[in-house]
Amino acid sequence: MDQIIVHGNGPLKGEIPIAGAKNACLTLMPATLLTDEPLTLTNAPRLSDIHTMTTLLQSLGAEVAALQDGQVLAMSSHDLTSHRAEYDIVRKMRASILVLGPMLARDGVAEVSLPGGCGIGARPVDLHLRALEAMGAQLDLRDGYVFAKAPQGGLKGATYEFPLVSVGATENALLAAVLARGTTVLKNVAREPEIVDLARCLRAMGAQLEGEGTSTITIQGVESLHGATYPVVTDRIELGTYMLAPAICGGEVECIGGRIELLSAFCEKLEEAGVTVEETARGIKVSHHNGRVKAVDVTTAPFPGFPTDLQAQFMALMCTAEGTSVLEETIFENRFMHAPELTRMGANIEVHGGHATVQGVDKLRGAPVMATDLRASVSLILAGMAAEGQTTVSRVYHLDRGYEHVVRKLRGVGAHIERVKEEQS
């Protein structure tokens, strides 16, 4: 098993290219199941989760080829051979549930294992299922699988209001509704850029819909979709992560491909902390040259609020800030599992339920730490870059799910970081 070794760092300088969004790409890939014509995605990230979704689609009979060093995904579902998404694949990643809506809409049947993924809370799929039931789906949960059938003649348009905002449930409902008969109105939907990206891709495939980016999306079902070539949107979570690197170490880094509109609430908090953020012709430039940042409070919220997927990384920054900050997690429970590991590095953190109080310290100390999930793993790397001495991060396989070439990108701006094989005792 690999480890990442980080040594305390001086100021950073240079540029980091930002990849296509993992969460957007994982949502766009199942759209191939809606048509028998080719769907090609460009600007695809090269991550283990993308490989998992590829394996899942191939198990259903779809053809998926990674071209141009994996940055182009050429897909075709002209001849599906199965409608069963097996547990052995689905358990690895929650996004696997997104094959349910497309298969049900296109062929009227689907059998999908209940998903797995990071251990950051229950994240039940009931919101997905209720939206599909509103369109007439008949659902049966048994033996760890969702057995779904559409009524005779296919799914029907419906009006459905989500009781809670859910990105995944919005995506599944949208994927199903584009082929449903009649008009579907989805209310209280997620507004994340990944939702907007999915809607734009579906429109490029011939879907008729409007309202993405607002709380209501209206879809007029069509008989069939056609193929398309579509670029995956920039990964706003990778963008925010690398924006934090010069904030925590000092220096100046330009994140190529970034746009402030993807992370406006996050950028506001960085500026409140004393970090300079400016949009350039090529992306976003972040700089900090004046010692410790100021402590600021953060509350996670659905888009356009502060992203839950940047909370762990921002906590790493607050560990060496001047003053006391309070981070409130409102999206997922169990998402402060990185706090004890940061404490091992000398951070002063108290967690009470969904709140973490961070008293900034002058300096963190390098220590052996263990990653608990994807975003926690990179928060420990950022902390290690700001710490005295060596930090060794174990269980970094989480990183491969969400960050491509993290060591290469950080070394490119001057970080002292390497990935090594763990020594066996």
348 is in an annotated binding site: no
Do 220 and 256 sit in the same domain of this protein? no
Do 240 and 220 sit in the same domain of this protein? no
% of residues, the chain, pLDDT over 70: 97
Q: Report the pLDDT value the prediction gives residue 133, as an integer from 0 to 100.
A: 97
23 is in an annotated binding site: yes
Do 224 and 239 sit in the same domain of this protein? no
Least confidently predicted of 321-335, 342-356, 359-373: 321-335
Q: Report the pLDDT value the prediction gives residue 1, as an integer from 0 to 100.
A: 82
The 10s digit of each residue's pLDDT in 103-127 is 999 999 999 998 854 443 444 688 9
**Is residue 285 one of the residues assigned to a domain?**
yes
Measured CA to CA, the distance from residue 140 to residue 146 in angstroms comes to 6
309 is in an annotated binding site: yes
Q: What is the pTM of this model?
A: 0.89
Least Cα distance to 339 among 312, 306, 378, 308 occurs for: 312
Segment 376-381 mean pLDDT: 94
46 is in an annotated binding site: no
Do 206 and 318 sit in the same domain of this protein? no
Q: Report the pLDDT value the prediction gives residue 424, as an integer from 0 to 100.
A: 58
Do 244 and 202 sit in the same domain of this protein? no
Number of domains in the chain: 2
Question: CATH number, domain at 170?
Answer: 3.65.10.10
Q: Report the pLDDT value the prediction gives residue 331, as an integer from 0 to 100.
A: 86
69 is in an annotated binding site: no
Do 244 and 382 sit in the same domain of this protein? yes
Per-residue confidence at 218, pLDDT binned at 50, 70, 90?
very high
Measured CA to CA, the distance from residue 187 to residue 171 in angstroms comes to 13
Which one is catalytic: 25, 118, 249, 319?
A: 118
Do 301 and 315 sit in the same domain of this protein? yes
- Specify whether 118 is catalytic: yes
Segment 6-15 mean pLDDT: 94
123 is in an annotated binding site: yes
Contact (CB, 8 A) for 209 and 220: yes
